[in-house]
Amino acid sequence: IAGITQAPTSQILAAGRRMTLRCTQDMRHNAMYWYRQDLGLGLRLIHYSNTAGTTGKGEVPDGYSVSRANTDDFPLTLASAVPSQTSVYFCASSEGGADTDTQYFGPGTRLTVL
């Protein structure tokens, strides 16, 4: 069982370019999340999806969009990348709807915007 996979592992991107980070889980979890992790700031929620077909905004959604066409996939798109979006991006998933809703994280994508 792979759990959660993310692609690419790392990417260097020119400012202004469009980029999609991919996330796939095989645990049939209902809920999925995208976080960014920056030094000294901890993990911050960008967008989330409680179930396939629905999405919601987290703490830092500006400049990012997501879609949830099916249970397994939750891509994150940067429409026009800016240097402040340089970060490590983690996708996570959880069963959803439970009080003890543990989130499980993918290996991350390290993105550098120049």
Interface residue list for another protein (CB under 8 A): 40-45, 48, 58, 90, 99-108
Min. distance of Cβ 15 from another protein in angstroms?
Answer: 25
Min. distance of Cβ 108 from another protein in angstroms?
Answer: 6
- Give CA–CA dist 90/37, Å, rounded: 8
| Residue number with CB closer to another protein (5 or 80) | 5
| Residue number with CB closer to another protein (17 or 109) | 109
Min. distance of Cβ 109 from another protein in angstroms?
Answer: 11
| Residue number with CB closer to another protein (14 or 102) | 102
3-state secondary structure of 84: helix
DSSP character at residue 30: S
8: left (phi over 0), alpha (psi -120 to 50) or beta: beta
Strands 4-7 and 104-105: unpaired
3-state secondary structure of 106: coil
Min. distance of Cβ 111 from another protein in angstroms?
Answer: 14
Q: Which two tokens stand for residue 95?
A: 């069963």
| Residue number with CB closer to another protein (11 or 80) | 11
